[in-house]
């Protein structure tokens, strides 16, 4: 499989958030603003690349019967490392992400890629897959975060962009607003994807 295709699959064709619909819990919870979304995306990319790399290296060593606990141990290790370094070097972001940083351990995107890709493919391909899937997640999360921040608080990256007379719509920063927006985004994204594939065919 070509590496560019793996990358593109992760970002567009198999976008974890908008196509595969996995890792929804953290997506909805963290995407209240752009900065948190971006930071969460970076944390997921770091964990995903690390766990894909190690699992790909160990794919012939880990027996089938214990692969799930082995994967979880590897993933949990990377998450804890990311958590420690974020706490030490980016404390405001660490605080903003709160419980959702350690919960990356149980984020299905990471286990799904370990199971479906890294345990069956070579090292380079697995790293590229980690980057692609991670970027796909980040892009979706940042887009959602930007819309929620804009309408929910009238700001982008903490700076006011809408006039002060704009009354922020609290629904957008609340979980129900995230559900509604995510639904709309998935619809638009898949419509665009379908149009593109039918025009190619």
Partner 1 sequence: MKETIKLGVILMIITVVSAGVLAISNNLTKDRIAELEMAGSLESLKEIFGDSADFKPLDEGKLDEIKGSTPSVLEIFEVYDGDALIGYAIKNVSKGFGGDLVLLTGFNIDGTVAGLDVLEHSETPGLGAKAEEPEFRNKFVGKSTSEAITVEAISGATVTTDGVLAGVNEAREIFNNQLSN
- List residues near partner 1 by CB under 8 A: 32-33, 58, 61-63, 65-66, 69-70, 73-74, 76-77, 80-81, 84-85, 87-89, 91, 95, 98-99, 152-153, 168, 170, 173-174
Minimum CB distance to partner 1, residue 151 (Å): 11
Nearer to partner 1 among residue 69 and residue 183 (C-beta): 69
**Helix, strand, or coil (residue 93):** helix
H or E element, residue 84: helix 67-89
Q: Give the C-alpha separation, 12 to 142, whole Å.
A: 15
Nearer to partner 1 among residue 38 and residue 189 (C-beta): 38
Q: Give the C-alpha separation, 22 to 200, whole Å.
A: 27
Nearer to partner 1 among residue 73 and residue 191 (C-beta): 73
- Is residue 136 a contact partner of residue 13, using CB atoms and an 8 Å limit? no
Nearer to partner 1 among residue 66 and residue 157 (C-beta): 66
Minimum CB distance to partner 1, residue 87 (Å): 5
Nearer to partner 1 among residue 82 and residue 135 (C-beta): 82
Minimum CB distance to partner 1, residue 25 (Å): 14
Residue listed under structure tokens 């996995």: 22
Nearer to partner 1 among residue 87 and residue 194 (C-beta): 87
Report DSSP state, residue 154.
S
Minimum CB distance to partner 1, residue 7 (Å): 28
Minimum CB distance to partner 1, residue 90 (Å): 10
Residues with Cβ < 8 Å from 55, sequence gap 6 or more?
62, 71, 74, 114, 118, 119, 126
Minimum CB distance to partner 1, residue 127 (Å): 18
Report DSSP state, residue 33.
S
Q: Give the C-alpha separation, 143 to 141, whole Å.
A: 5
Q: Give the C-alpha separation, 95 to 187, whole Å.
A: 32
């Amino acid at each position: 499989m070509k590496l560019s295709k793996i990358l593109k699959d992760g970002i567009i064709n198999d976008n974890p958030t908008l196509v595969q619909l996995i890792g929804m819990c953290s997506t909805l919870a963290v995407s209240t603003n752009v900065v948190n979304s971006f930071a969460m995306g970076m944390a997921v990319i770091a964990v995903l690349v690390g766990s894909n790399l190690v699992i790909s290296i160990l794919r012939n060593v880990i027996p089938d019967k214990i692969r799930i606990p082995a994967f979880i141990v590897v993933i949990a290790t990377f998450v804890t490392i990311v958590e420690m370094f974020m706490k030490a070097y980016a404390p405001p972001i660490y605080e903003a992400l709160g419980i959702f940083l350690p919960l990356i351990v149980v984020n299905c995107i990471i286990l799904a890629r370990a199971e479906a890709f890294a345990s069956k493919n070579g090292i380079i391909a697995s790293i590229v897959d980690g980057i692609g899937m991670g970027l796909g997640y980040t892009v979706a999360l940042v887009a959602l975060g930007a819309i929620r921040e804009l309408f929910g608080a009238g700001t982008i990256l903490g700076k006011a962009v809408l006039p002060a007379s704009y009354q922020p719509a609290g629904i957008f920063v609340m979980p129900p607003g995230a559900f509604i927006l995510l639904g709309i985004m998935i619809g638009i994204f898949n419509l665009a994807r379908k149009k593109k594939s039918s025009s190619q065919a």
